[in-house]
Structure 1
Amino acid sequence: MDLRKLDVFVTVATERSFTRAAERLHLAQSGVSTAVRALERDLGVTLLDRTTQRVELTEPGRALLPEATRILAAVASARAVVTQAEQGLRGSLRLGILYGDLTPAPLRAALAAFHAEHPLVELVLTAPGTGGSLDHLARLHDGSLDLAVVIADTEPGIQRHVLATDEVVLACTPGHALAGRDGVELAELIHEPFIDFPPGWGMRWAVDHAFRAAGLRRRITVQMNDLSTILDLVRLGLGVAFVPTSLANDSADLRFLRVRNDAPSYEIALAAAERPLGAVARRFLHTALPAGHHLAQRAAGA
């Protein structure tokens, strides 16, 4: 089986588009189509359903994708080992990251140290899309990311190492009715208009879980996937928001109230799919994780 055909198939399957796959592979679109058709002839099956709007995997295509991804990763790892022995570590690290201050400082330091030690490695950093950590987990499963930083609950087939745990505090304006308090109960917030992340984001999951566990429902009026914008909307008086405790000292123009009794909390973890990692990803784990630690085989989510 031709590895180049497999690479083209995986790229088309990941991009869900022949056009985007051709751009990513620096090939003519006709060449991409020819490679996929040749692979389908080799296997005697149809791997992709083509429409004018979108490319979808068939059942054989869905079965082949993880296997093809593993084969290509194994070949890339073998090449990297040989190259590393001769020239030093090369290749790429495809890492899913979180926005801004949500990424723990030790991990940012590990990225800087890794880049300084291995300058020939290309760092391909991907921020989450509208689905938050769920986007990263999907990319870990389909092989388009090697590792990802996620705010996690549970997910089968994912290994993780917890990097940090943080609680949330309630952000409001100085003129808000609650601003003079030093703490608040969840039950006192059910009528407040909340500005929050969309479903799928880890901090949103943690807060929703805390309200459900208390038998309460809250009112979310604005959804935004950027923490700095959320704080700006709080400043405008459009609502209140839960934010990480670690950020409470960075905005002197707002008031931050701790949550009494079962404050929502979340874990930030470095996650990988349960399959062999390439040489570059293994080396980054060695840099990023505390000495003697390995990825804990726990399920991770968003």
Structure 2
Amino acid sequence: MDLRKLEHFVAVAEERNFTRAAARLHIVQSGISSSVKALERELGVPLFERTTQHVGLTPAGRALLPQARRILAEVRTARQEIARVRGGLAGTLNLGILYGYSPTGLATHLVRFRAAHPQVALHLRGTGAHDGTDHAQRLHDGDLDLAFLLVTGVTPGLVRHPIGTETVLLACHPDHPLAAHDTVALTDLATETTIDFPPTWGVRSAVDAAYAAAGVGRQVSFEMNDISTILDLVRHGLGVAFVPGFLTRHAAGLTFLRVRELPGEFEVALAASAARPLSPVSHAFLDTILKPGG
């Protein structure tokens, strides 16, 4: 089986769109369509259900996807091992990042890592992709090698390396009645218009868990995966939003309040799948992050 066909299949499966998959792999759409059709002929089954509005996996496609990811990951690791033996680390690191958050100086670590390993390509993936899959699931699926997580509960099947802590605060307009307080309770927000992240985001998970534990219902009026837009809506008085505490350093014109039912701090960790050994590239990046004084 041609590895290139598997790569094309995985790209379409993850993007749910042939055009986006082709752009991701820097090839023409006709090329990726032909490759997928050839793979389907080779396997004797359709892998995708195609309509003018939707591309979805068939049962055969869903069965093939984790195996294709595993094969591609093992080939990538083998190539990295060979490059290491030859005297230089090479390959790709698929890294999940938290939008806008630079734990322990992420940019500085990336500079150091690239300086030490210039042949490694870094593919950075933000949380809340168009298909709604979160970093934890992408680690399980093999789509990510490592990922930064805002830990809001148990993380089965993942190995976590704590690197810092973060808070979750409530952002509101300075003229909002709540802005006169230092802290608020979830019951104070019963009638508020809430602007929030998708359910797969760490902040949203933390807030949803707090509401559930308090036995308080909630209604999200606006939902989006863009931090700057959320802050802009709050700045224009369209609602309040639960946001990570680091934003207080970059969001002028807003008031931030602590929420009594939310923990004071959440763990920020660099995580990997417990089901697969780390590749040489992942090991090197993890060492860069965890190195004392790095």
TM-score, length-normalised on structure 2?
Answer: 0.80
Q: Are 2:98 and 1:98 equivalent residues in the alignment?
A: yes
Structure 1 residues 43, 119: CA separation in 2 closer, same or farther (over 3 Å shift)?
Answer: same
CA contact (8 A) 1:171 1:242 kept: yes
Aligned positions of 1:1-302 closer than 5 A: 1-25=1-25, 32=32, 35-36=35-36, 38-40=38-40, 42-100=42-100, 102-129=101-128, 134-152=133-151, 153-154=153-154, 156-251=156-251, 253-260=253-260, 262-263=262-263, 265-273=265-273, 274-289=275-290
CA contact (8 A) 1:194 1:219 kept: yes
SS at match of 1:124: strand
Q: Distance in 2 between matches of 1:283 and 1:5?
A: 29
Aligned-pair identity (%) = 55
Q: Distance in 1 between matches of 2:258 and 2:20?
A: 47
Structure having greater relative contact order (Cα 8 Å, sep ≥ 6): 1
CA contact (8 A) 1:192 1:218 kept: no
Q: Distance in 2 between matches of 1:241 and 1:128?
A: 18
CA contact (8 A) 2:168 2:243 kept: yes
Structure 1 residues 260, 33: CA separation in 2 closer, same or farther (over 3 Å shift)?
Answer: closer
1:19 deviates by 4.9
Q: Distance in 1 between matches of 2:290 and 2:27?
A: 38
Aligned partner letter, 2:143: S
Number of residue-to-residue matches in the alignment: 290
Map Cα deviations across residues 251-296 of structure 1 (whole Å, 9 max, x no partner): 46433332335547543332333223322122112212356xxxxx
SS at match of 1:165: strand
TM-score, length-normalised on structure 1?
Answer: 0.79
Per the alignment, residue 300 of structure 1 pairs with none
Structure 1 residues 262, 129: CA separation in 2 closer, same or farther (over 3 Å shift)?
Answer: closer
SS at match of 1:217: coil
SS at match of 2:199: coil
Q: Distance in 2 between matches of 1:289 and 1:261?
A: 32
Which is further off, 59-68 or 208-217?
59-68
Unaligned runs of 5+ in 1: 292-302
Structure with larger Rg: 1
Structure 1 residues 47, 130: CA separation in 2 closer, same or farther (over 3 Å shift)?
Answer: closer
Structure 1 residues 60, 181: CA separation in 2 closer, same or farther (over 3 Å shift)?
Answer: closer
Unaligned runs of 5+ in 2: none
Which is further off, 4-13 or 275-284?
4-13
1:42 deviates by 4.9
CA contact (8 A) 1:131 1:199 kept: no
Q: Distance in 2 between matches of 1:221 and 1:176?
A: 17
CA contact (8 A) 2:170 2:240 kept: yes
CA contact (8 A) 2:132 2:198 kept: no
Aligned partner letter, 1:271: A
Map Cα deviations across residues 6-29 of structure 1 (whole Å, 9 max, x no partner): 334333433444555455555566
1:203 deviates by 0.8
CA contact (8 A) 1:133 1:151 kept: no
Which is further off, 13-22 or 281-290?
13-22
Structure 1 residues 29, 170: CA separation in 2 closer, same or farther (over 3 Å shift)?
Answer: closer
